[in-house]
Amino acid sequence: MHDPGALTREQLGFVGGRLDRVDHIRTRPDLAAQTFALPETRIVALDGLDPVTADGHLVMEAAAPGARAEDHVLLGLDDLQRPIFARLAERVEGGFFPTERSRAIATELPAHEIALYGTARSLVHWHARHRFCSVCGSPTQAEKAGWSRRCDACSSEHFPRVDPVAIMLAEHDGRVLLGRQHRWPERFYSALAGFIEPGETIEEAVAREIKEEAGVTVHSVRYVMSQPWPFPSSLMVACIGVAGDDALTLDETEIEHAFWCDADGVRAALANEPGAPFIAPPPMAVARHLLKHWLDGQLVPPGPSA
Amino acid sequence: MHDPGALTREQLGFVGGRLDRVDHIRTRPDLAAQTFALPETRIVALDGLDPVTADGHLVMEAAAPGARAEDHVLLGLDDLQRPIFARLAERVEGGFFPTERSRAIATELPAHEIALYGTARSLVHWHARHRFCSVCGSPTQAEKAGWSRRCDACSSEHFPRVDPVAIMLAEHDGRVLLGRQHRWPERFYSALAGFIEPGETIEEAVAREIKEEAGVTVHSVRYVMSQPWPFPSSLMVACIGVAGDDALTLDETEIEHAFWCDADGVRAALANEPGAPFIAPPPMAVARHLLKHWLDGQLVPPGPSA
């Protein structure tokens, strides 16, 4: 099961899940209960919402005696055809940002186990925060092997959230726009980002966010890649847009500082060079891969430029 | 304000909104209240969740005497700098599928007004179904000019949902995979689709859905376009993937029938030819534009093929 290739430091986080999500079992309570009762069934160990690891793997446990299928979510079948569940929690604390432990797995675990942890984390968080019906206020019950919650009082059905987020670079004349939030570590810069809202395409959200945060108008937005980000349940949608000019008007409540960085600066930051103009996001984050993607598309030779 | 170009029958629905969403006003209750009180403020008329139109435009009304800002959501400023709000409803019926009225605006309204209606509809639906806190069951109050709801009992903040949906064509040897659901009108076929789940990239969701619904394995998934779909608040993410072979194993609970259609068949369906092998989705739907995009990429000459 060990996958040394996935342990490189440059692995994008939470991508590359290998579970078979077995939709046909989720929708059959009898099958879900039988699956939970199998001797090979495993439960992903979690410490609150944090991962629990040993010897370079997530810890997986047999179901406790007396454990009930309905207190668990069926994540899927692994490569060995073992059913993998996560245990639901009555409450969780926070969960909106990565912790030290959840960051550390980037270099400890194979990619597909990081993805499995992310899926478990998002679902456990969602259940703990949806124990009541948002329509009528009555208690809800997990259903469909943990892939929905139903309200017996008003019959509403609620499904796990996935919140799409646009994360993007504006590019202008061989440079890209980087910004930093007030609470970030010194010299850390990244791509701008924001939640996609009702009534927007991905491309419209990209243009709105860059305009709101930096006062820059972009066109020709192109999709680059996506990533699930389980803090608590975002879908990062990474894009690049072309800016008409480079004048900045920052929203200073959101952005402490922003600047246009050329390819040499991006290259230096991705290489962690001491003289780099900024500290780049870690490999776990899609922003780093978006910067790499942009850099790969530049044909600027290394060295001083005009 | 009339935009005749947007009235073509081939306009993708709910795309092309022009409102300035004025995030800096939403976060300031004083500014939001002042904005609501302006004489030029307009409220989008809705009949339940259905649109109300006259003379080829959405009906916009002045605020009723005594109307309160906190019972409305600020959609943004229009091209004339008029603040546009929608009135929140205590309850809505259904809203999960398009109605006759909401389909009809495709040929009645300029694109940006269809987008405005879609945004209003998603937000009114979300508020009506989130009057209680999913964390603790207590009543919630609208905040941030209608862009969040807060629970006074447990201090949780809740944000409007946007549910990303993968909608996709598998392609194999010059043909694309089309399917139909049991409840659809006779001969109507479209792209397969399904909600993106926690822990998946867009591309992983595309591959999982095609595998689940049709038994087809795809690789090399490419993003094509996106669309907000306000029934009630989806973000359609349209993609094409390459199938390794063309054997089908249908999930018959989801899919009544599926088949591989060549470029001639897609061309005939998009042209509404009587002999076409299927009836294509309407212009309002992204599936039609995905089919067009695929067809534009084919170099198959018209006429009989092997």
Q: What is the ipTM of this complex?
A: 0.95
pLDDT value at A4 more than 80:
no
Q: What is the pLDDT of residue B126?
A: 98
Q: What is the pLDDT of residue B142?
A: 97
pLDDT in tens, A71-126: 999 999 999 999 999 999 999 988 999 999 999 999 999 999 999 999 999 999 99
Q: Where are the beta strands (DSSP E) in chain A?
A: 42-44, 46-47, 50-51, 53-54, 57-58, 60-61, 72-77, 83-87, 140-143, 148-151, 157-158, 163-172, 175-180, 192-195, 218-229, 234-243, 257-262
For tokens 């194993």, what's the residue? B249
CB contact under 8 A, B159 and A195: yes
Q: What is the pLDDT of residue A7?
A: 43
Task: Tell me how close the Cα of A142 comes to any Cα of chain B, in angstroms.
Answer: 13
Average pLDDT, chain B: 94
Residue B54 CB-density burial (10 A; 0-12 exposed, 13-18 middle, 19+ buried): exposed
d(CA B133, CA B116): 27
Nearest to A167 by CA among A220, A228, A209, A212: A209
pLDDT in tens, A194-245: 999 999 999 999 999 999 999 999 999 999 999 999 999 999 999 999 999 9
pLDDT value at B262 more than 80:
yes
Tokens representing B95 are: 């809203």
pLDDT in tens, B202-219: 999 999 999 999 999 999
Q: What is the pLDDT of residue A299?
A: 72
Alpha helices in chain A (DSSP H): 23-26, 29-36, 100-104, 111-128, 202-214, 263-270, 286-296
With a pLDDT cut of 90, the percent of chain B lying above it is 93
CATH number of A163-296: 3.90.79.10
Q: Which of A138, A164, A204 is the closest to B164 by Cβ? A: A164
CB contact under 8 A, A132 and B136: yes
Q: What is the pLDDT of residue A304?
A: 56
Contact assessment for residue A124 and residue A89, using Cβ atoms and an 8 Å cutoff: yes
CATH number of A4-158: 3.90.79.20
> Which residues in chain A have their CB less than 8 angstroms from residue B197's CB?
21, 119, 147, 160, 162
Say yes or no: do domains B4-158 and B163-296 share a fold: yes
Contact assessment for residue A52 and residue A59, using Cβ atoms and an 8 Å cutoff: yes
> Which residues in chain A have their CB less than 8 angstroms from residue B233's CB?
198
With a pLDDT cut of 70, the percent of chain B lying above it is 95
Domain boundaries, chain A: 4-158, 163-296
Which own/partner contact pairs does B53-62 have at CB distance under 8 Å and 24+ positions apart? Answer: B53/B105, B53/B108, B53/B109, B56/B2, B56/B7, B56/B108, B56/B109, B56/B110, B57/B1, B57/B2, B57/B109, B57/B110, B57/B113, B58/B109, B58/B113, B58/B116, B58/B117, B60/B84
d(CA B133, CA A86): 24
Handedness of CA B181, B186, B187, B190 (dihedral sign): negative
d(CA B149, CA A33): 37
pLDDT in tens, A146-191: 999 999 999 999 999 999 999 999 999 999 999 999 999 999 999 9
> Which residues in chain B have their CB less than 8 angstroms from residue A136's CB?
132
Q: What is the pLDDT of residue A49?
A: 97
CB contact under 8 A, A162 and B160: no
B10 pLDDT tier (thresholds 50, 70, 90): confident
pLDDT value at B29 more than 70:
yes
pLDDT in tens, B164-211: 999 999 999 999 999 999 999 999 999 999 999 999 999 999 999 999
